[in-house]
Structure 1
Amino acid sequence: MNYLQTAQEIINLVGGSDNIDHTDHCSTRLRLTLRDNARVNQPALEKVPGVLGVRINAQCQVIIGSEVIGVYQAVKSLTDDQPKSESSTPVRTSRMSYIIDFIISVFQPLVPAIAGGGVLKSILLLLDLMGWLSRNSSTYKVLDNIGSAPLYFLPILVAITTAMKLKVNILVAVSAVSVMVLPAMSKQLAEGAEFFSLDLKNIAYASQVFPAILCVIFYAQTEKFFNRYSPGALRIFLSPMLSLLVTVPVTLLFLGPLGYEVGAGLATVILWLYGKLGFVATALLAGVLPFMVASGMHKPMIPYVVASMGQFGREMLYLPASLAHNIAEAGTCLAIALKTKDKVLKSTALSSGISALCGITEPALYGITLLHKKALCSVIIGSVIGGAFIGWMAVEAFALVGPGLPSISLFVSPDNKWNIVWALAAAGIAFSVSFFITLFIWREEQQATPADSLQATPELRFNSPAEGQVIPLEQVNDEVFSTRIMGDGIAIRPVKGALYAPADGVISNVFDTGHALSMLTNGGVELIFHIGIDTIKMNGAGFAPQVSAQQPVKTGDLLVEFDLEAIITAGYDPVIMMVVTNSERFSVSAEIPRLSINNHHNIMTLKESV
């Protein structure tokens, strides 16, 4: 893979470097926090070589697979030195989207360190179990300390990731959190400590997550305050000193105990649910994991897993359920690889199956499972049965890492020698069930011929979405549209504040600010409408969508009412862009009348490319 070329295409198709606010990655996904999701050309982005899929929710998640680190580094190298446009202000997102984005940004970078230390400790337990390295030996203890360090100093690691997300001084933030795990402070708390006659609670903050997060969030506010009011000549030491003097006592008195209770409460609630539902909880979670992983919604489970590891040193729901799901994905893919006669599908299924055996399921999900209903059914059945067995045998995990055969040692228990045996048995059950069900129900799918395709998609004609003067896209004063990065299409300078449906179809999405929406026509054309340039900065003022997502519409139906005068008065260009985001499938022919037109005039014709 050419990392730089792939990275450049990704940057272009998400709206350019000035639309990227933050870049991160996990084991398979490039995670982009964007300023305006409306500028993403998702269909074209999904067709970039090396991209397995795209999911957009709180973040734009570009699924890459095992090459993600190379692509991430290339994207960083291409964007870090690029100045952000002064006009590019962050998009106003919903509170839930912001919370999810914050959780992912804080917890996702922790996984490699916690996973590395946890797997090392589980391997050491396995070596002791087999009699190859005694836990009483000095070598074992040194290696065990190496594995214990990431979890013990988890508050400091969390302080770093939180400070990076909030864009505050990382070293001062770490200094504030370090007080909680300072040996002298821990000893003082254990002996009974006061601060100006106020009792400090005796809490062991090592391995805790939420006290550190609350501490850094509060520090971010104090830093902002003292930076504003400290004299310039003294700010370099005065602001950090005052921030520490305020942040640390408030944390020890209030925020630390509150964060500790939050973490304990989160883990306790999950364990309570597990205690009430038993093996059913693990089975159900394993069954829905294909959909959670595909949408990226499995990431909010990480805080619970980290809290559980920190408090109990083990986890008994999410990671065991993930083992059943991962191995079931592998069983289905390898069965398809064995049975299919399609060489391309055979290769994809084989590589995806091996990847799933190693604990990485995105290639299997996006390349096989979600594209074939029978494969999805097999995976769900195998996951549920394997998850039920895991829950019935109360299998526990002791390291935060994607469960698979190479990392199976994470199920080695220091107290229960059978834990690893039941984990292996569950993996075998999940694999066998999904494998043999797939062999039994899999049938090759008939592919449509080119003649069928041409017959199914005749010439498609589109009316103007607004009343006004039609202009070519290249005359639009926004290079995202004028250079056709989003796709081919047409633009209209409106004379009336109304946007209409140019064809029959279904509304795909209506953006919160009302300035843009997308639809899928009955002829398979994906359209996006963007009212005005930079009008997202109006934060929805003057825009009144008349439709909602998944709503069927007919040609000429009113989609959005907007205040044309308000847009012009605010200093924005009110031009309307209608773009075909899957225009690579069609030849687009635009008609440019000289005079203003109404929404009944035909202005664009599409024919499917052969």
Structure 2
Amino acid sequence: MMDYKKIAEEIIHHVGGKENVSNLTHCATRLRFNLKDNKKADRSAIEQMIGVVGVTVGGGQYQVIIGSEVRHVYNEIMSLLGNQLEKNNDSNESDEKKSIGARFLDTISSIFTPILPAITASGMIKAVLALLVAFHWVDNTAQAYQIINFMADAGFYFLPILLANSAAKKFGSNPYLAMMVGGILLHPNFVSMVAASIESGEALSLGFLPIYNATYGSSVVPIILSVWFMSYIEKYADRYSPKMIKFFTVPLITILVTGIVSLVVLGPVGYIIGNGIAAGITFLDLHVGWLVPMVIGGVFPLLVLTGTHYGIIPIGANNIMTVGYDAMIGPGNLASNIAQGGASLAVGLKTKDRAIKELAVSAGITAVCGITEPALFGINMRFKTPLYSSMIGGAVGGLFIGLFGVKRYASGSPGLMTLPVYIGEDGFRNLIFACLGAAIAFAVAFVVSFVLYKEKNIEKDTIEELDTLLDDQYTESNPANSISIFSPADGKVIPLTEIKDAAFSSEAIGKGCGIIPENGLFVSPVDGTVEMVFETKHAIGLKSDNGAELLIHVGLDTVKMGGKPFEVFVASGDRVKKGDPLLKADLEMIIDEGYETTTPIIMTNFDGFSTIKTAPKQDILAGKLLLEVGK
């Protein structure tokens, strides 16, 4: 079982400490940090943590990919941060350093990510109801149906209030005042007044100020604009109100001014923008309905990779809430997710490596169910050809879906579990074409991935001996044909598969082997440059003169020891030759505190090379040949 508190503590440490975090949200699989300075974060250290799938930076956010356990880690981090976020936000200047595009994506993602569970709940209830009605198990005129249906509608109708809360946190204003603004836009009396005005033809007005005849249930843009405006009014009211009566004057001025401006200006502007987006999507749907689902199906993995996919998800939600369906974003996303699962499963079927097979199969099943990060980062990005295959499959499936006008009628993470959201007024026709599109995406991605994926020319279960290369007299490398990497320590060689750390044994970081050291002295295995010395001194990154990028990670999980057992003799940027001392470790202290001394020696850029041969499982001396890498 994961120790969520320990993971949280390590993540906070490696992102630069509490003082470097200005905001934090999470989605289905990721922690989404806004950091004051991304350079203070130790990406490599985070990626090596047990429980972390990967790290990506995009859309103005520093994103740590955890998987399905993300909510538990998030709760622990928020508990540890306490009120530090408020202090950091008071002096936060990080947004000013970002581009306009990054700031926009960050804002949209930060506002929509927290409310996705509510939207998903509403969408899934709607999907279940549609399924029950389609099979004639429930009558849509029955009282039970009507009650469950309005429960589902609540998440959509009161969306402005949900958005108000998350927008207030993003813009640094009072969330309860923001939700009150959402309540103003949704108040039954206002809705009745608008209906009466439309029927009678008499315009609504607040004194001499005209009020646009619009209702804001299920709307998106009006409340975001209103809360953004409110954040400035609240700050000015707080700044200029007398200290003794601030408690009364700040909320009074904030709500009165924001409420009036929202009804007269911002609400109508947002309403028009929302309808304009929907009209543009409808135009595309009528004239080139195949285009957007095909493009989304093809490029969505790249958007997920950079974390910018949440920038377009609101467009699909806006379509459902304005025109009643989404024919582009969600359907294209469905094709992409299913294709990623197909590409990963093909690798699982073809590979002979047991660890890769297990990861590829489990990640593929997760992907077809709607969560693609394990497949994307664990398999598809790692081997490249499955990524290309998933993009091809997603584009072909998206094209089919677009050509047949497939629509989804509710939100949810696109995958097999949410297919019922495609049940519409035409019975099962729309659902059938959605299923066919998903099947095409899966089949194309699976076949292309199976054909393109090539197992590396190495048998992991039988370590090759290097014969003459391991002769005691061998001291020189052969740069014309290969790269030689020598042992950095005396000890016993073991294959990566025997290392009790999934990040290393699965080869997610790179290829190589492990050494169980006999003494604490570690020397350079190559001629090259020190690329990185970790702050906790437990690991060193090197780049050899002939292009090999190496990681020497002394012990397992020793990052938690805070550098106590280590003495480092080099610094980043230093030139080293084979045999130069790098660091010394107190192996007894490591063992006494419950950690393993097993030291992975990893070539992190192996993808650019063809073969790797590893010394057999036996004792080895520092300076003897350990790895031979073919160019």
State TM-score, norm by structure 1.
0.76
Provide the C-alpha distance between the structure 2 equivalents of 1:606 and 1:160, rounded to a whole number of angstroms: 56
Structure 1: distance between partners of 2:254 and 2:374 = 46
> How much has 1:227 moved relative to structure 2?
1.2
Which residue is equivalent to 1:411? 422
Is the 1:36–1:90 Cα contact (8 Å) retained in structure 2?
A: no
2:133 pairs with 1:122: no
Correspondences of 1:311-390 after superposition (within 5 Å): 311-390=322-401
Aligned pairs, number: 503
- SS, match of residue 23 in structure 2: strand
Partner of 1:493: none
Distance 1:64 1:39 in 2: 20
Query: Aligned to 2:355, what secondary structure does the other structure show?
Result: helix
How far did residue 425 of structure 1 move?
A: 1.4
Aligned to 2:55: 54
> Is the 1:158–1:213 Cα contact (8 Å) retained in structure 2?
yes
Report which stretch shifted further, 376-385 or 337-346: 376-385
**2:44 maps to 1:43:** yes
CA distance in 1, matches of 2:374, 2:149: 34
Match of 1:430 in 2: 441
Contact 2:122 2:153 (8 Å CA) reproduced: yes
Give the corresponding residue for 2:479.
Answer: none
1:437 Cα deviation after fit: 2.9
Does the CA contact (< 8 Å) of 2:483 and 2:548 recur in 1? no
Decide which of 182, 185, 203 is 1:180's aligned counterpart.
185
Native 8 Å contact 1:25 1:31 kept in 2: yes
Residue of structure 2 aligned with 1:74, choices 67, 73, 76:
76
Q: Is the 8 A contact 2:406 2:433 kept in 1?
A: yes
Asked whether the equivalents of residues 61 and 106 of structure 2 are also in contact (C-alpha less than 8 Å), the reply is: yes
Distance in 2 between residues matched to 1:304 and 1:85, nearest whole Å: 31
* More displaced 10-residue stretch of structure 1: 177-186 or 192-201: 192-201
Kindly tell me: are residues 431 and 220 of structure 1, through their superposed partners in 2, closer, same or farther at Cα, counting changes over 3 Å? same
- The CA deviation string for residues 440-468 of structure 1, in whole angstroms up to 9 with x for no partner, is 333312359897764499634459x9xxx
Conserved? CA contact 1:591–1:603, under 8 Å: no
Give the C-alpha shift of residue 606 in structure 1.
8.2
Match of 1:3 in 2: 4
- The AA in structure 2 aligned to 1:459 is V
Shift of residue 204, structure 1, vs aligned partner: 1.4
Q: Which residue of 1 aligns with 2:22?
A: 21
User: Aligned partner of 2:388: which letter?
Assistant: C
Identify which of 299, 306, 310 aligns with 2:310.
299
Is 1:238 equivalent to 2:249 in the alignment? Answer: yes
Partners of 2:67 and 2:324 lie apart in 1 by 30
* CA–CA separation in structure 2 for the residues paired with 1:375 and 1:357: 15
Alpha-carbon offset, residue 603 of structure 1: 8.2
State how far apart, in whole Å, the 2-side matches of 1:327 and 1:503 are.
38
Distance 2:358 2:567 in 1: 32
What letter matches 2:312 in structure 1? M
The correspondence of residues 130-529 of structure 1 with structure 2, limited to 5 A, is: 130-190=135-195, 191=197, 192-447=203-458, 454-455=484-485, 459-462=526-529, 522-524=547-549
CA contact (8 A) 2:31 2:70 kept: yes
Any gaps of 5 or more consecutive residues in structure 1?
466-471, 474-480, 490-501, 506-520, 527-582, 593-598
Residue 278 of structure 1 and its aligned partner are, at CA, apart by 2.6
Q: Distance in 2 between matches of 1:85 and 1:482?
A: 24
Contact 1:30–1:72 (CA under 8 A) maintained in structure 2: yes
Cα distance change, pair 258–325 in 1 and its aligned pair in 2 (3 A): same
Distance, in Å, in 2 between the alignment partners of 1:202 and 1:136 is 31
Specify every segment of 5 or more residues in structure 2 that has no aligned partner in the other structure, as ranges: 198-202, 467-481, 487-523, 552-562, 583-600, 603-625, 627-631
Per mean C-alpha deviation after superposition, the further-off stretch among 195-204 and 439-448 is: 439-448
Q: 1:85 to 1:134 in 2, by over 3 A?
A: closer
Residues 546-592 of structure 1 deviation map (CA, whole Å, 9 limit, x = unaligned): xxxxxxxxxxxxxxxxxxxxxxxxxxxxxxxxxxxxx9xx9964289
Q: Is the 8 A contact 2:334 2:414 kept in 1?
A: yes
CA distance in 2, matches of 1:257, 1:112: 28
Deviation of the 1:281 alpha carbon: 2.5
Q: Is the 8 A contact 1:282 1:390 kept in 2?
A: yes
Q: Which range moved further: 332-341 or 201-210?
A: 332-341
Distance 1:276 1:403 in 2: 25
Query: What's the CA shift for 1:42?
Result: 0.9
Q: TM-score, normalization: structure 2?
A: 0.74
Q: Alpha-carbon deviation of 1:82?
A: 5.5
Question: Alpha carbons of 1:293 and 1:86: their partners in 2 closer, same or farther (altered >3 Å)?
Answer: closer
Q: Which moved more, 1:248-257 or 1:414-423?
A: 414-423
319-328 or 263-272, which deviates more: 263-272
**Residues 455 and 488 (structure 1), Cα distance of their counterparts in 2 relative to 1, 3 Å cut:** closer
One-letter amino acid matched to 2:68: S
Secondary structure, counterpart of 2:283 in structure 1: helix
1:334/1:61 CA distance change after superposition, 3 Å: same
Q: Distance in 2 between matches of 1:374 and 1:354?
A: 19
Cα distance in 1 between the residues matched to 2:74 and 2:106: 18
CA deviation string 1:397-423 (max 9, x = no partner): 112211111111111113453111111
- The aligned amino acid for 2:154 is A
Shift, 1:372, TM fit:
1.3
Superposition RMSD in Å: 3.2
